[in-house]
Amino acid sequence: MRAAPLLLPLVLAASATGCGTGGDNAAQHQRYLWVQTCAECHTIAQGTPSPDVAAKNLWDVHPTREQVRRAVIDGRPGMPKGLLGGDDVDAIAAFVVARTTR
């Protein structure tokens, strides 16, 4: 809730400046979305505590793509809804699933 209005223009600006034109760019864009939109609350590496104690380490959640999409679109208690929209929802879901696959 506090960060979303400030971050959205940044995310849109990144989408407009050529992200998603190639494999590397797609990966960079996913990482960018993670850092800008999720990392202030969640960690995603085994054994690391999240910056927001209410937000789980996503490695421990081990979510499906659909779980990530629903969390990002609908929000969770303590997590604002609509953090990302459009293709970015799928991009962050792919990123989270890839990083949390054992």
The token pair that represents 13 in the structure block: 């600006």
* 79 touches ligand HEC (CB under 6 A): yes
Choose the stretch contacting ligand HEC; rule: CB under 6 A; options: 9-17, 19-27, 68-76: 68-76
Nearer residue to ligand HEC within complex by CB, 19 or 84: 84
Q: Select 4 or 16, whichever has its Cβ closest to ligand HEC.
A: 4
Residues 22-61 that bind ligand HEC (CB under 6 A): 37-38, 40-42, 52, 54-56, 58, 61
Structure tokens at 74: 């609908």
Instruction: Give yes or no for residue 72 binding ligand HEC (CB under 6 A).
Output: yes
2 contacts 41 by C-beta, under 8 angstroms:
no
Please give the Cα distance from 60 to 51 (Å, whole number).
Answer: 15
Please report whether residue 99 would count as binding ligand HEC according to CB under 6 A: no
Which residues lie closer than 8 Å to 72 by C-beta, 6 or more apart?
82, 83, 84, 89, 92, 93
